[in-house]
Structure 1
Amino acid sequence: MVRLTRPRVLMVVIAALLLAYAFAPAPVSPSGGGTGAASGPPTKAESGAVVPAGADGPALQLAAGLFPPAGRTFFGVMTEKGPYDFTAVDRFAAAAKRQPQVLLFGVGWESGTFDRVLFDRIKDRGMLPMLGWEPWDHHVDQAARKQEKLTVRQIDRLRSTQPRYRLSRIADGDFDSYLRSWAAGVKSLGYPVAIRFAHEMNGDWYPWCEKVNGNRPGDYVEAWRHVHDLFERAGATNVIWVWSPNARWSKTTANLAQLYPGDDYVDWVGTTGYYGTGAWSEYWSFDAIFGPTIAEIRTFSRRPLVVTETGASDVGGRKAEWIRETFRTLPKHREVIGLIWFEVDKELDWRIAGSPAASAAFADSVAAPRFDVRWSPDLLPRTDLEE
C-alpha cells in the first residue's frame, strides 16, 4: 500500500490550491460514498478530483483524501452473516443512528474461495471491506462446539490442532496457488480492501498461534511475510494489511514484538478485547482492557491502531456505561483511528441493537464530530500518525 505521510499530502494539496486559485475549477461531484453521514460534500482534495490547469494546459490530478482524516475516528461493525445478509448491519446502523464506515467479515481457507460480489456489496454501501482471513478449517471448530460436556479449553485444543494449516506450510509455499487466486481477485477490485490476516496470534486457540499445532517461534512472522510478498508480486497493492493480536490478559501472554512482521509489512495494527467475559468479567474500563497492549505495541510500531473487534455484555448491568466511557476515552489515544463493534448474539449478547440503553449510549457517542467520517473507494488509508 502506498505510504502517505501528512507533510507529503499537505504539500500536494497546497500546490493544487494555488493552481485552483489562479484558474477557476470546473464543478465537481463527489464520487462513491454510499450513505455514510458527513458534515458536507467532500473537498476536491478528498475526492481525488481533476482540476483544469488552464485553457491549454494539461489537467492536474489532486491527491486523494485519507481515511480517516487526521483528528477523526471511524467506527465499523462485524455481524454473524456479514455481506451475505445485511439485516443485522441495518439494525446496527439504525441503533447507532449513523452508517458504519467499515464492515469486517470472516473467511476460512478450507472453503473460502474469492468472491468479488461480497466485497462489492460492502463497497456499494459506502463501507470499507475488511476481510478476516483465517488459515484453518472452521468446520473443526463447529464440530468441537457441538460435542457435549467439553470445556472451553478443551474446545480450544481441538480446534487449534490442524496440522494441515501449520504456519511452516504457509511459509513454504504449500498454499501459494490458493493465495495467488485471492491476490488476483483482490487486485481486480480496484479499490482498497483491508485484510486482517490470522488474528489473535498471541493466543492458543487457533492453529496459526505459535504455541500450538506444531508451530515454532518465528513461524508466524515468516508466514505473514510470505503471504504479503506474494500479494505484492501479484500487483495486489490495494491491500491494507491489518495485524491484530488479542489484548494482553496476563503477564504470561506472548511478547508481541516477536510476533510483529514489521512496519514494512503492516499498514494498521490492531487489537481485540471484550468487556464482560473471561479475564474481564468484572467491570474493566477501556484503558484497563486495552491500555497495556496499546502501550506495548507503541514500543515497536508507529502504525495507526484499530480496535478490530470489541463488544460489551450486560452481565453486570453496565453495558451502556462501558460504551459511553469507551468513546469518551478514544480521543485520548491519538494512535487509535477506528473501532469495530461485534454486533452478534453469540454465547453472550454483544449487540447494541439488543438493548435500548446500549443503543442510546452508542448513538450519543458516535454523534460527536470526531466520528463524522465517510469512506469511499477513492480514499487512501491513513498509514502514518501525525507527528
Structure 2
Amino acid sequence: MLRPTVPRVGLALAGVLLLGYAFVVAPGVGRDPGTEVAARGPQASATPGASATPTTGPAVPFPPAGRAFVGLMTDAGPYDFAPVDRFTAAAGRAPQVMLFGADWASAAFDRSLFDRIADRGMMPMLGWEPWDHAVDRAARRSGLTPRQIDKVRSGQPQYRLARIIAGDFDGYLRSWAEGVKSLDYPVAIRFAHEMNGGWYPWGEKANGNRPGEYVRAWRHVHDVFSAAGVTNAVWVWSPNARWNKSTGLATLYPGDDYVDWVGITGYFGHGAWTRYTSFDQIFGPTIAEIRAVSRKPLVVTETGVAGDTGADKPNWIRQAFRSLPRYPDLIGLIWFEVDKEKDWRITDTPAAAAAFAESVADERYEVTWSPSMRPRTGV
C-alpha cells in the first residue's frame, strides 16, 4: 500500500487526516467484496508453509455472492500456458479456475503442477480419473469408430469400482491425500466424472461394475482423504448432461456430506446435441434432476461449441451466457478450449472470440481468485 509522505511540517495535520481516511473510511468505499483478499494477488499465500487463511477477518468466498467464475481446460494444462494466454487475449478476461486431468495409471502427485496454476491466479481443479488413459489414446490412433473406442477404453477390469471399494488403491490414494493436504490453498477434485454414461471404466454400465458401487467407491476415496486430515479439497461430482439412455442421477449421488460442488458436462455439436440445441435445452433438465437430490452449488465443468457449427457458434455462446443468471446457484463455467475430435475453442474464429469476450465482459464475471479465499460450498 502506498503511504503519503509529508515533507513539510505545515502539511503534517493534513497528512494525518488523509491517512486516517485511507485506513478507516476508504477500505469500505466502492470495493467489490470479492476482491478484498484477491487484491493481494496470487502470490500472497503461494509459498510453501504459508497459511491459506487470512490473518485477520473472515475468508472471502469464491466466487462472491451474485458472481460466477470463468474457468478453462486446455490440451496442455499446467505444462504450457500459451493456450491460456491466447484464450485470455481473445476473451478479454483471465480465467479464475483451471481444470486439468490425471489418470491413476501414470500420474503421481506433483505439487509443481498445482503451484503453476495457483501462481497465475487460478484455482486448480483436478480431473482425477481411475483408469489408464493410454488405452484411450491407442484406441483413437487405431482408427476405430467412436462407439468402438468407448467400448475399448471402458473395459479396464484392473480399475473396476469393486477394487477401489476393497482398498486396492489405498496406498495411491493416501499419497495424493498427503500431497493435496500440503498445499496452501484449496483444490477442487473432480473425481470419476460423467459416471452416468458407459464410456469410462468407472461407469456402472461398463467394466463389470454393479449398481451402487459408484457411490461406495466415491465415499471410500473421500473417506481416505478425510482420514488423512485433508481439509482443503473441494469435491466435485460431475455427471454428463442427461439424455434418454443415461443412468438416473439419484442412484449415483454420494450425498451432500461427500460433495461440495455439483458439475455438469455438455457440448453443442456432439453426441445427442449435433443439431442446434440451446444451453437451456442441454443443461436445464439435468439441473432439475440434480435439484431433486442436492442443493449444492452448480458448476458447468465442461462445455464448448463445435467449430463446424458456423454462425451458430457465436450465437450459442451469447445465448448461453444470457441463460446463466437464470440459474442463481450456478457459480461457474469451464470452457473446453481444445481442438479434440472437433474444434471447441473460442480462438478458432474471430466471431466466436468476440461473442465470448462480449459475454464475459458483464460485471457478473468480474471475479478474482486468491489462495486465501474460501470456496463457496453453500447456496
Matched, 1:253 2:246: yes
2:140·2:149 contact (CA, 8 Å) conserved in 1? yes
Q: Aligned residue for 1:75?
A: 70
CA shift in 2, pair 1:135/1:41, >3 Å: closer
2:34·2:61 contact (CA, 8 Å) conserved in 1? no
Q: Aligned residue for 1:242?
A: 236
Give the structure with higher Rg (CA). Answer: 2
2:34·2:367 contact (CA, 8 Å) conserved in 1? no
How far apart, CA to CA, are the structure 2 residues paired with 1:279 and 1:384?
A: 32
Q: Aligned residue for 1:134?
A: 129
How far apart, CA to CA, are the structure 1 residues paired with 2:38 and 2:129?
A: 36
Deviation per residue, 1:87-131 (Å, 9 max, x gap): 111101111011000000000000000000000000000000000
How far apart, CA to CA, are the structure 2 residues paired with 1:368 and 1:88?
A: 23
SS in 1 for 2:333: strand
SS in 2 for 1:226: helix
Deviation per residue, 1:63-93 (Å, 9 max, x gap): 1000000000101000001000111111011
Q: CA deviation at 1:41?
A: 8.7
1:45·1:62 contact (CA, 8 Å) conserved in 2? no
1:46·1:63 contact (CA, 8 Å) conserved in 2? no
Q: Aligned match of 1:158 in 142, 152, 162? A: 152
Q: CA deviation at 1:335?
A: 1.4
1:106·1:134 contact (CA, 8 Å) conserved in 2? yes
Q: CA deviation at 1:205?
A: 0.4
Deviation per residue, 1:271-299 (Å, 9 max, x gap): 00000122111111000000000000001
SS in 2 for 1:308: strand
How far apart, CA to CA, are the structure 2 residues paired with 1:25 and 1:179?
A: 48
How far apart, CA to CA, are the structure 1 residues paired with 2:274 and 2:25?
A: 57
Give unpaired runs (5+ residues) of structure 1.
Answer: 1-20, 29-37, 50-58
1:22-101 matches, cutoff 5 A: 42-43=35-36, 61-101=56-96
Q: Aligned residue for 1:232?
A: 226
How far apart, CA to CA, are the structure 2 residues paired with 1:45 and 1:113?
A: 30
Deviation per residue, 1:216-241 (Å, 9 max, x gap): 00100000000101101101110000
How far apart, CA to CA, are the structure 1 residues paired with 2:64 and 2:37?
A: 14
Deviation per residue, 1:229-254 (Å, 9 max, x gap): 1101101110000000000122x321
2:164·2:217 contact (CA, 8 Å) conserved in 1? yes
TM-score under structure 1 normalisation? 0.85
How far apart, CA to CA, are the structure 2 residues paired with 1:130 and 1:342?
A: 13
1:1-387 matches, cutoff 5 A: 42-43=35-36, 61-148=56-143, 150-250=144-244, 252-317=245-310, 318-385=312-379
How far apart, CA to CA, are the structure 2 residues paired with 1:310 and 1:350?
A: 8
Deviation per residue, 1:40-66 (Å, 9 max, x gap): 99336997x9xxxxxxxxx98311000
Identity of aligned residues (%): 66
2:181·2:231 contact (CA, 8 Å) conserved in 1? yes
2:307·2:345 contact (CA, 8 Å) conserved in 1? no
CA shift in 2, pair 1:245/1:40, >3 Å: closer
Deviation per residue, 1:177-228 (Å, 9 max, x gap): 0000000000001210000000000000000000010100010000000010
1:45·1:64 contact (CA, 8 Å) conserved in 2? no
Give unpaired runs (5+ residues) of structure 2.
Answer: 1-19, 45-53
What is the one-letter code of the residue matched to 2:140? R
Q: CA deviation at 1:313?
A: 1.2
What is the total number of aligned residue pairs between the two structures?
Answer: 342
SS in 2 for 1:235: coil
